[in-house]
Structure 1
Amino acid sequence: ALREQRADDGLLSEEMACDGARLQHSRVWIVDPVDGTREYGEARADWAVHVGLAINGVPTIGAVALPGHEDGIVLRTDQPRAIPPAPEKLRMVVSRTRPAPQAVAVAEALGAELVPMGSAGAKAMAVILGQADIYLHAGGQYEWDSCAPAAVALAHGLHASRIDGSPLTYNQQDTYMPDLLICRHEHADSVLGALKG
């Protein structure tokens, strides 16, 4: 459908071979048809579908569907919602099977509770839905794992960056994305500081 309706844009998806043609485009759709394959296969709720658009490398437009969520919701850049206030004890979503040592160390430094969860999209949307406050990932991902979630998070007024504080940049020749931080702006300095400490 994207090839038909946006023929002048580039396309990158986890489920297709990349011939490099997308690198010639300033607008590139970045898609992950099933983010959290393990969770999907186990009939869990914490998997997602990502459709994002990077313009000149910036995650700009996106939607993250949570089909397994009790409401089957889709969070979108064009329909931002109010984010619930953070509780006194912060909650950090981490991989349910392999939490990154950096995330565990930051959680300890901030006195945050660890919340294990599956897909990257589900984790990022948990911050928007008020189920978590910080999503810190340092275990390596690919562009399709975070483009749509980052776009949606930014549209909701959240902080989204690499764990050194630098911007997330998409449509790179190497699609590997080593790390990611999504959180409320008021927590970003504390998290980034704890990472440096």
Structure 2
Amino acid sequence: MGTFMTDSATDTELAAHLAEVAGRLLVTVRESGVLSLKALGKAGDATANAFLCHALRERRAGDGLLSEEEKDNPERLEHSRVWIVDPVDGTREYGEARADWAVHVGLAVDGVPTLGAVALPGADEGRGIVLRSDAPRVVPPAPERLRMVVSRTRPAKEAVAVAEALGAELVPMGSAGAKAMAVILGEADIYLHTGGQFEWDSCAPAAVALAHGLHASRADGSPLVYNQRDTYMPDLLICRREHAGPVLAALAKISG
């Protein structure tokens, strides 16, 4: 039986623990061998979501909560502190047992992505890793030729155009969380998304990226603001701070 987490755990310790445990639950569901690929995504989402939401409502009962897999609740708008979770970011990649899927547990305070954790259960040859806002790693230096992560199935035309303008190599990858964490891990240098997302797709990744000293904003350079009535957040830029200016300038030129 596991050790009971004490009530003295910090918000980020809680986020990291929940993300890691949810990731293990998802792997267990997938490895059960009793679900078809279509059913697996639904079962995984439901299992991880139930765990995360029950845990947060017990451990942080006074906070708001927004999850991709739950019906939205207007009550969250009354809270300064709101947990924003994505139980399975990259359902297709999860079902295919790829490495590029994630679990997001983030906390927005007054709309700011303040802290969080992103679990990559399939990373490190299946051993899994958790990147968190209270334990920043050293981000490896960028190579001579920049690398931009894009969707492995539907690369956004704006991202492709910016990559061409900067002479960057395209790196196809799955989930939003995996792409954002790839910048921290030195597997990529720029994550530009313009194809439509929601708050749960980027809150935890943005919080972790900011804690690592990276740039995180909307595609026009404006701040990321969470816990909005409309949870649609169509674009995102995460990169090293020195690359933000050139990316935004190239994107403005292309969009103009």
TM-score interval for Structure 1 and Structure 2 normalised by the shorter chain: over 0.9
Unaligned runs of 5+ in 2: 1-54
User: Pick from 105, 117, 139: which aligns with 1:51?
Assistant: 105
How many Å separate the matches in 2 of 1:19 and 1:153? Answer: 27
- Are 1:14 and 2:68 counterparts? yes
AA aligned opposite 1:109: A
Structure 1 segments of 4 or more deviating over 2 A? none
User: Pick from 93, 112, 116: which aligns with 2:168?
Assistant: 112
User: Pick from 162, 169, 187: which aligns with 2:225?
Assistant: 169
Using the size of structure 2 for normalisation, the TM-score is 0.76
Cα deviation for residue 18 of structure 1 reads 1.1
How many Å separate the matches in 2 of 1:87 and 1:107? Answer: 15
Unaligned runs of 5+ in 1: none
How many Å separate the matches in 2 of 1:165 and 1:189? Answer: 9
Structural mapping, 1:1-197, within 5 Å:
1-70=55-124, 71-197=127-253
Number of positions where the alignment pairs a residue of Structure 1 with one of Structure 2: 197
Q: Which has the higher contact order (CA 8 A, sep 6+)?
A: 1
Cα deviation for residue 147 of structure 1 reads 0.2
Higher strand content, 1 or 2? 1
What CA deviation, in whole Å up to 9, does each residue of 1:120-170 have, x standing for no partner? 000000000000000000000000000000000000000000010000000
2:208 alignment partner, SS class:
helix
How many Å separate the matches in 2 of 1:44 and 1:73? Answer: 14
How many Å separate the matches in 2 of 1:118 and 1:136? Answer: 13
AA aligned opposite 1:31: V
How many Å separate the matches in 2 of 1:5 and 1:18? Answer: 20
Higher helix content, 1 or 2? 2
Structure index of larger Rg: 2
Cα deviation for residue 89 of structure 1 reads 0.2
RMSD of equivalent CA atoms:
0.5
How many Å separate the matches in 2 of 1:178 and 1:49? Answer: 20
What CA deviation, in whole Å up to 9, does each residue of 1:2-56 have, x standing for no partner? 0011111000001111121100001000000100001001111100000000000
